[in-house]
Amino acid sequence: MSDYDFLYDHQEETTTRFVCFVGNALHRFDLAIMTTTRYYGKKLVIDLQSGRSAVIGPDDLAEEGYLEYVFKLNEEQALELNEFLSQIIGSIHFTDI
């Protein structure tokens, strides 16, 4: 292990929610949504079909085109994902202020 310059090496217990749903656009979403103490309260969202992932908070959901870019979705699919994530993504917590 001495060959690595670690920036951090941290282990913690997390909560992971696995959810699968199909929206009106008939796109199937298979997601793992991880809650952790890292990322200032944002959640790690993993698309299990594509392997794409992003750390997402309410500010990211408000950014136009963000979900389309990160998860390679069309506008209608991204709108459905945004509607779902808006229900479960909490607020950002800055603990070091």
Using DSSP bridges, classify how beta strands 43-47 and 15-22 pair: parallel, antiparallel or unpaired. unpaired
Answering whether pTM is above 0.75, one says yes
Q: What is the pLDDT of residues 30-83, one digit of tens each?
A: 999 999 888 888 999 999 999 999 999 999 999 999 999 999 999 999 999 999
Residue 57 near residue 85, CB atoms below 8 Å: no
E strands, the chain, where?
Answer: 15-22, 28-35, 43-47, 53-56
User: Which tens digits make up the pLDDT trace of 9-38?
Assistant: 889 999 999 999 998 989 999 999 999 888
pLDDT score of 25: 85
Three-state DSSP class for 68? helix
